[in-house]
Chain A
Amino acid sequence: MARSGDILVIGAGIGGIKASQLLSKAGHQVHMVERTAHIGGTSIKFEDVFPNLECATCMLSPLEQELLQDPRIHLLTLTELEGLEGSPGDLTARLRQKARFVNLDNCIGCGACYDACPASAINEFEEGLSQRKAIYVPCAGALPNVPHIDPEVCIRFKGEECVACQEACVFEAIEYAQEDKALELKAGAVLVAVGSAVMDAKQLKRFSYGTHPGVFTALELERLNASNGPTEGHIRLRDGREPKRIALVHCVGRRERTLCSAVCCRYLLKFRHYLRHKLPCAEVCEYHTDLCLPNKGDQHFLGEMAPGGEGLMRAEVVRVEGEGDSLKVVLSRDGQEFSETFDMVVLSPALIPSDGVAELAQKLGVELADDGFLAVKGVASSRPGVFILGGASGPKDIRETVIEAMAAAGEARRTIMAKEDGE
Chain B
Amino acid sequence: MKARVGIYVCECGNNISDQVDIAALIPILEDAPGVVKVMPFRLLCSKEGQDFLEAEIRQEGLTHLVVAACSPRQHLTTFMEVSKRGGLNPYLLQMANIREQCAWVTLDRKEATEKAARMIRAATARVVRQAPLPEREVAANPDLLIIGVGISGAAMVRTLAGPERRLYVVDRDVAVTEGPLSGMEGVELYGGWQLEAVRGFFGNFEVTLSSGDSKKEIKVGAVAICSGSRTMTLQEMDYPGWEDPGVVLLPPDLEALMPHLEGLPERPKVLFVHCAGREKVGYCSGTCCLRSFRAMRWLAEKVPAAQLACLYQDICVPGRKGEKEYQGILGAGVRMTWGRLTGLSSQGRRTAVSFLREDGSSGQETADLVVMVPATVPDPGAKVLMDIIGADAGSTGFVEEGHPMLEPMATSVRGIYVAGSASGPRNAEASMLSASAAAAQIDAELRPGETLRLEAQTSQVCEALCTGCRNCLNVCTYGAIVYDPVAQTCQVNEAICRGCGNCVAACPSGAISVKGATYQQILQEIREAVR
In Å, the complex CA distance between A65 and B425 comes to: 33
User: Is A402 an interface position by the 8 A CB rule?
Assistant: yes
Cβ contact within 8 Å between A395 and B320 = yes
User: Is A25 an interface position by the 8 A CB rule?
Assistant: yes
Cβ contact within 8 Å between A290 and B425 = no
User: Is B53 an interface position by the 8 A CB rule?
Assistant: no
Which residues of chain B (429-458) have a CB below 8 Å from chain A?
Answer: 429, 432-434, 436-441, 443-445, 447
Binds A, one of B59-67, B123-131, B310-318: B310-318
Cβ contact within 8 Å between A299 and B13 = no
Which residues of chain A (123-155) have a CB below 8 Å from chain B?
Answer: none
**Interface core residue of A170, A289, A314, A378 (most chain B CB under 10 Å):** A170
User: Is A331 an interface position by the 8 A CB rule?
Assistant: no
Q: Ordered nearest first, which 7 A-B pairs have the shortest CB separation?
A: A410-B440, A294-B286, A262-B318, A406-B437, A26-B444, A407-B436, A394-B320
In Å, the complex CA distance between A373 and B429 comes to: 18
User: Is A396 an interface position by the 8 A CB rule?
Assistant: yes
Residues on B with beta carbons closer than 8 Å to the beta carbon of A262: 318-319
Which residues of chain A (253-289) have a CB below 8 Å from chain B?
Answer: 254, 258-262, 289
User: What distance in Å separates the Cβ of A220 from its nearest Cβ neighbour in chain B?
Assistant: 23
Cβ contact within 8 Å between B323 and A260 = yes
**Interface core residue of B43, B285, B318, B396 (most chain A CB under 10 Å):** B318
Which residues of chain A (396-423) have a CB below 8 Å from chain B?
Answer: 396-399, 402-407, 409-411, 413-414
User: What distance in Å separates the Cβ of A296 from its nearest Cβ neighbour in chain B?
Assistant: 4
User: What distance in Å separates the Cβ of B427 from its nearest Cβ neighbour in chain A?
Assistant: 11
User: What distance in Å separates the Cβ of A85 from its nearest Cβ neighbour in chain B?
Assistant: 27
Residues on A with beta carbons closer than 8 Å to the beta carbon of B447: 26-27
User: Is B338 an interface position by the 8 A CB rule?
Assistant: yes
User: Is A368 an interface position by the 8 A CB rule?
Assistant: no
Cβ contact within 8 Å between B314 and A259 = no
Chosen A-B contacts, 29 in total, with CB atoms closer than 8 Å, are A22-B444, A26-B440, A108-B15, A110-B12, A110-B13, A254-B323, A260-B319, A260-B322, A289-B315, A292-B318, A293-B283, A294-B287, A296-B424, A297-B396, A298-B284, A299-B282, A300-B282, A300-B283, A314-B358, A369-B320, A371-B320, A373-B320, A378-B433, A379-B436, A406-B436, A406-B437, A406-B440, A406-B441, A407-B440
In Å, the complex CA distance between A22 and B73 comes to: 21
Give the total of B residues in contact with A, Cβ under 8 Å.
58
Name the CB-closest residue of B to A107: B13
User: Is A116 an interface position by the 8 A CB rule?
Assistant: no
Cβ contact within 8 Å between B437 and A404 = yes
Cβ contact within 8 Å between A292 and B338 = no
State which of B425, B432, B434, B443 has its C-beta within 8 Å of the C-beta of A413: B443
Known: A22-B441, A262-B319. A290 touches B314 (CB 8 A): yes
User: What distance in Å separates the Cβ of A204 from its nearest Cβ neighbour in chain B?
Assistant: 16
Residues on A with beta carbons closer than 8 Å to the beta carbon of B429: 378
Residues on B with beta carbons closer than 8 Å to the beta carbon of A373: 320
Cβ contact within 8 Å between B405 and A49 = yes
Q: A179-197 toward B: CB 8 Å interface, digit per residue (1/0)? A: 0000000000000000000
**Interface core residue of A294, A394, A403 (most chain B CB under 10 Å):** A294
Residues on A with beta carbons closer than 8 Å to the beta carbon of B74: 65
State which of A110, A261, A300 has its C-beta within 8 Å of the C-beta of B15: A110
Beyond contacts A291-B316, A394-B321: 15 other A-B pairs, Cβ-Cβ < 8 A, are A25-B445, A59-B406, A65-B74, A69-B78, A108-B15, A108-B43, A260-B319, A292-B316, A296-B394, A299-B283, A399-B408, A402-B405, A403-B437, A405-B437, A410-B441
In Å, the complex CA distance between A413 and B162 comes to: 15
User: Is A171 an interface position by the 8 A CB rule?
Assistant: yes
Cβ contact within 8 Å between A296 and B398 = yes
Which residues of chain B (397-419) have a CB below 8 Å from chain A?
Answer: 398, 404-406, 408-409
Name the CB-closest residue of B to A171: B13
Cβ contact within 8 Å between B316 and A378 = no
Cβ contact within 8 Å between B424 and A402 = no
In Å, the complex CA distance between A373 and B284 comes to: 27
In Å, the complex CA distance between A25 and B450 comes to: 12
Residues on A with beta carbons closer than 8 Å to the beta carbon of B349: none
In Å, the complex CA distance between A355 and B436 comes to: 29
Cβ contact within 8 Å between B318 and A26 = no
Q: A32-59 toward B: CB 8 Å interface, digit per residue (1/0)? A: 0000000000000000010110000001
Cβ contact within 8 Å between B433 and A292 = no
Residues on A with beta carbons closer than 8 Å to the beta carbon of B433: 378-379, 403-404, 407
Cβ contact within 8 Å between B404 and A299 = no
Which residues of chain A (333-389) have a CB below 8 Å from chain B?
Answer: 369, 371, 373, 378-379
Name the CB-closest residue of A to B435: A407
User: What distance in Å separates the Cβ of B144 from its nearest Cβ neighbour in chain A?
Assistant: 14
Name the CB-closest residue of B to A65: B73
User: Is B77 an interface position by the 8 A CB rule?
Assistant: yes
State which of A26, A51, A407, A410 has its C-beta within 8 Å of the C-beta of B404: A51
Known: A296-B425, A407-B436. A398 touches B405 (CB 8 A): yes
In Å, the complex CA distance between A379 and B14 comes to: 49
Cβ contact within 8 Å between A63 and B406 = yes
User: Is B159 an interface position by the 8 A CB rule?
Assistant: yes
Cβ contact within 8 Å between A294 and B318 = yes
User: What distance in Å separates the Cβ of A199 from its nearest Cβ neighbour in chain B?
Assistant: 14
In Å, the complex CA distance between A373 and B320 comes to: 9
Q: A225-263 toward B: CB 8 Å interface, digit per residue (1/0)? A: 000000000000000000000000000001000111110
